[in-house]
């Protein structure tokens, strides 16, 4: 139980510190080509490995460039974490692109389109639906 809390605390610390580094620490231009945010950090139970999930806004080309920049910055990120977060051993860092927000937006737009198509096909249904809700 206590180790779960410790792992969660370390993951949150890493998320916060890497977010700060993305804002003003990483000098690689490729990282700046797309807007990047840390969505989650998964730290192993022994605190030796950290998967850092990032969401990147931009074109596919910008996403690819940004991931390449992040991959080349892993050494810098790890050494910075070592000085910012007090741990016996600084975890190995891996950046993983998180596309869940993108998928969620796609699902929402599909649902909205279905709703619009239904209201165009059956405009009276909405009218009757509204009046039946009131009774």
Sheet of strand 49-57, all strands in order from the earlier edge strand to the far edge: 35-43, 49-57, 92-97
- CATH number (domain holding residue 57): 3.30.300.20
CA dist., res. 40 & res. 58, Å (int): 19
Q: Alpha-carbon dihedral of residues 127, 129, 130, 133, nearest 10 degrees?
A: 160
Identify which has the larger pLDDT, 2 or 87.
87
What pTM value is reported for the model?
Answer: 0.74
- Give the tens place of pLDDT for each residue, 22-33: 888 787 777 765
Over residues 115-119, mean pLDDT? 85
Q: What is the pLDDT of residue 129?
A: 55
Tally the domains of the chain: 2
CA dist., res. 69 & res. 61, Å (int): 12
Q: What is the pLDDT of residue 124?
A: 64
If you average pLDDT over every residue of the chain, what do you get? Answer: 84
Both 93 and 104 in one domain: the answer is no
Across 7-16, 46-55, 56-65, 122-131, least confident range: 122-131
Both 53 and 91 in one domain: the answer is yes
In this structure, the number of other CB atoms found within 10 A of the CB of residue 11 comes to 20
Both 94 and 107 in one domain: the answer is no
Pairing of strands 35-43, 49-57: antiparallel
Both 117 and 87 in one domain: the answer is no
Q: What is the pLDDT of residue 122?
A: 73
Both 84 and 124 in one domain: the answer is no
Domain of 52 in residue numbering reads as 2-98
Classified as helix, coil or strand, 58 is coil
- Give the tens place of pLDDT for each residue, 66-100: 999 999 999 999 999 999 888 889 999 999 998 88
């Amino acid at each position: 139980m206590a180790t779960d809390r410790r792992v969660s605390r370390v993951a949150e610390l890493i998320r916060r510190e890497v977010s700060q580094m993305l804002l003003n620490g990483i000098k690689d231009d490729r990282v700046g080509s797309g807007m990047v945010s840390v969505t989650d950090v998964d730290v192993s139970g022994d605190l030796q490995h950290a998967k850092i999930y990032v969401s990147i806004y931009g074109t596919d080309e910008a996403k690819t460039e940004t991931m390449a920049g992040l991959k080349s910055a892993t050494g810098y990120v790890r050494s910075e974490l070592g000085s910012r977060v007090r741990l016996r051993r600084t975890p190995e860092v891996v950046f993983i692109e998180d596309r869940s927000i993108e998928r969620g937006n796609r699902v929402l737009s599909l649902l909205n389109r279905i709703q619009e198509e239904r209201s165009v096909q059956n405009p009276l249904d909405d009218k009757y639906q509204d009046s039946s809700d009131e009774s």
